[in-house]
């Protein structure tokens, strides 16, 4: 196995709550305020509903998605929606230990991103000063295909210009890695940075 390309997911891998316990408490509070059984049910509505399914393949903007979702929760005013968005995603970023792994890989491998995302992805990566390590940044919103569909991976491989067995793909959802593995891509199901670093070391990548 000769790995030439490290392919990263974004949400849940590169970008995560920097204080998970604090994020869980905040999300529990919002779930109760909005009338959900728990934060899992709340996020399933946000990222399992038709609005997200449309936004992630370019059929709806991030702003329009949240407008449609939050109006049904009584947040019709733009100011109220903006405040909710700022609070629910507060504290998310790139952990120092993840940034250190990326910096060690940068220049030795082609680093790329494949993310199910909306039209705001590129701006978010730039704001967090992480975009400069990755080329290309493949956004499902831009290509019109989302993981775990094979089409998303086929487009990615074409843009990368590599064979599947040259890629090491990091994602936090097994449904995505299952498709990738079936196509011959080497995969790592992300749980935490130390486990990722240990696997990269085992494979003599890091």
Report domain extents, the chain: 5-17+94-202, 20-88
Q: What is the pLDDT of residues 74-110, one digit of tens each?
A: 888 889 889 999 999 999 999 999 999 999 999 999 9
Residues 45, 68: Cα–Cα separation, whole Å: 12
Q: What's the pTM?
A: 0.95
pLDDT, position 144: 98
Structural element, H or E, at residue 7: strand 5-8
| Both tokens assigned to 126 | 């730039």
125 pLDDT above the threshold of 90 = yes
pLDDT digits (tens, 9 = 90+) for 156-177: 999 999 999 999 999 999 999 9
Tell me: cis bond preceding 141? Omega within 30 of 0 counts: no
Asked if 74 contacts 68 with a C-beta cutoff of 8 angstroms, the reply is: no
5-17+94-202 — its CATH code?
3.40.50.1000
pLDDT tens digits, 59-73: 999 999 999 999 989
Burial class, 61, CB count within 10 angstroms (exposed 0-12 / middle 13-18 / buried 19+): middle
Neighbours of 20 (CB within 10 A): 10
Residue 167 CA to residue 165 CA, distance in Å, equals 5
pLDDT class for 145, splitting at 50, 70, 90?
Answer: very high
The Cα–Cα gap between 158 and 180 comes to 14
- Residue 151 has φ and ψ, to the nearest 5°, of -60, -40
Question: Which residues does 199 contact at the CB level (< 8 Å), separation at least 6?
Answer: 188
The pLDDT assigned to 76 comes to 84
Average pLDDT, the chain: 96
Neighbours of 129 (CB within 10 A): 10
Beta carbons within 8 Å of 188's beta carbon, 6+ residues apart: 168, 169, 170, 171, 177, 196, 199
CB 97 within 8 A of CB 37: no
Closest CA to 49 of 70, 35, 30: 70
């Amino acid at each position: 196995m000769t790995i030439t390309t490290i392919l990263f997911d974004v949400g849940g891998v590169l970008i995560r709550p920097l204080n998970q316990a604090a994020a869980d408490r905040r999300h529990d509070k919002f779930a109760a305020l909005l009338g959900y059984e728990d934060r899992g049910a709340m996020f399933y509505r946000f990222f399992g509903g038709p609005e997200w399914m449309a936004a992630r393949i370019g059929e709806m903007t991030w702003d329009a998605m949240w407008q449609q979702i939050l109006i049904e929760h009584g947040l019709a005013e733009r100011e109220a929606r903006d405040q909710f968005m700022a609070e629910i995603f507060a504290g998310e970023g790139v952990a120092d230990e993840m940034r250190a792994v990326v910096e060690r890989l940068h220049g030795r491998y082609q680093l790329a991103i494949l993310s199910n995302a909306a039209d705001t992805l590129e701006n978010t990566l730039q704001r967090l000063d992480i975009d400069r390590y990755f080329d290309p940044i493949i956004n499902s919103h831009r290509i019109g295909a989302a993981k775990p569909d094979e089409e998303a991976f086929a487009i990615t491989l074409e843009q990368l210009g590599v064979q599947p067995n040259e890629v090491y793909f990091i994602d936090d959802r097994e449904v995505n890695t299952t498709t990738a593995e079936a196509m011959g891509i080497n995969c790592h199901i992300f749980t935490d940075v130390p486990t990722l670093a240990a696997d990269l070391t085992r494979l003599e990548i890091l």
